[in-house]
Structure 1
Amino acid sequence: MKRFVLSLAFLFGALQAQAADPAPVYPAHTIPNTQLRALPKNADGRTYQLHIHLPGSFAKEPRRRYPVLYVTDGYWDFATVVASYNNLAYDKVVPEFITVGLGYAGDNLDYGELRGWELSPVKLGPLAFGTGNADKFIASLEKDIFPLLEREYRADPAQRYLAGSSLGGLFTLHAMYAKPALFKGYIAASPAVVVGGDWIIGQAKAYAATGKPIAARLYVTGAENEWPGFLAGIQRYQALLPTLKHPELVYENRTIDGERHAGTKAESYTRGMRFVFAPLAPERGPSKD
Structure 2
Amino acid sequence: MPKNQVLLLILSLCSVGFLQAQSSKVVASNPASSILKKNVNLMVRLPDSYAASQQKYPVLFFPQVTDEMVEEIAVLTQKLHKENGTPEMIVVGTNVEDKLEREQENAVYDKYLSYLEQELIPSIEKKYRCSGQRVLHGRSLSGSFTLYALLSKPTLFNGYIAATKEWYEDNNDFFTGLANKALQSADKFKDRKIFLASLNGAYSNSNISEVNENMTAFAKLLASKSGNKIASKYQAFDDWGISPYPGFKEGLLFVAKAGK
Q: Does structure 1 residue 71 correspond to structure 2 residue 87?
A: no
Deviation at 1:166, TM superposition (A): 2.0
Q: Does structure 1 residue 273 correspond to structure 2 residue 248?
A: no
- Unmatched segments (≥5 aa) in structure 1: 1-25, 105-113, 125-130, 281-289
CA distance in 1, matches of 2:69, 2:56: 24
Equivalent of 1:243 in 200, 207, 221: 221
Q: Does structure 1 residue 228 correspond to structure 2 residue 205?
A: yes
- Match in the other structure for 2:77: 85
Pairwise CA RMSD: 2.8
Q: Does structure 1 residue 140 correspond to structure 2 residue 115?
A: yes
Cα 1:195–1:172 change in 2 (3 A) is farther
Q: Does structure 1 residue 218 correspond to structure 2 residue 197?
A: no
Identity across matched positions, percent = 22
Contact 2:36 2:112 in 1 (8 A): no
Instruction: Find the residue that maps to 1:219 and give its secondary structure.
Output: strand
- Match in the other structure for 2:237: 256
Instruction: Find the residue that maps to 1:240 and give its secondary structure.
Output: helix
Deviation at 1:234, TM superposition (A): 6.2
CA distance in 1, matches of 2:166, 2:39: 25
For residues 172-231 of structure 1, give each alpha carbon's deviation from its aligned partner in whole angstroms, at most 9, with x where no partner exists: 000000000011000001265438553222211222344445221111111012232685
Cα 1:140–1:258 change in 2 (3 A) is closer
For these two proteins, the number of residue pairs brought into alignment is: 233
CA distance in 2, matches of 1:132, 1:91: 41
For residues 107-142 of structure 1, give each alpha carbon's deviation from its aligned partner in whole angstroms, at most 9, with x where no partner exists: xxxxxxx232xx236527xxxxxx850110010111
Contact 1:163 1:169 in 2 (8 A): yes
- Unmatched segments (≥5 aa) in structure 2: 1-15
Deviation at 1:97, TM superposition (A): 1.3
For residues 234-265 of structure 1, give each alpha carbon's deviation from its aligned partner in whole angstroms, at most 9, with x where no partner exists: 641332221341231111111111459xx974
Cα 1:200–1:68 change in 2 (3 A) is same
Structure possessing the higher radius of gyration over alpha carbons: 1
Instruction: Find the residue that maps to 2:32 and give its secondary structure.
Output: coil
Cα 1:67–1:258 change in 2 (3 A) is closer
Q: Does structure 1 residue 54 correspond to structure 2 residue 46?
A: yes
Cα 1:222–1:121 change in 2 (3 A) is closer
Q: Does structure 1 residue 153 correspond to structure 2 residue 136?
A: no
Summarize the alignment of residues 3-18 of structure 1 with structure 2, pairs less than 5 Å apart. Answer: none
CA distance in 1, matches of 2:113, 2:236: 28
Counterpart AA for 2:201:
N
Deviation at 1:49, TM superposition (A): 1.8
- Match in the other structure for 2:141: 167
- Match in the other structure for 1:4: none
Cα 1:140–1:147 change in 2 (3 A) is same
Q: TM-score, normalised by structure 1?
A: 0.71
CA distance in 1, matches of 2:24, 2:109: 29
CA distance in 2, matches of 1:195, 1:146: 33
Summarize the alignment of residues 36-51 of structure 1 with structure 2, pairs less than 5 Å apart. Answer: 36-51=28-43
Contact 1:219 1:276 in 2 (8 A): yes
Contact 1:67 1:160 in 2 (8 A): yes
Q: TM-score, normalised by structure 2?
A: 0.78
CA distance in 1, matches of 2:56, 2:153: 23
Cα 1:220–1:153 change in 2 (3 A) is same
Cα 1:197–1:183 change in 2 (3 A) is closer
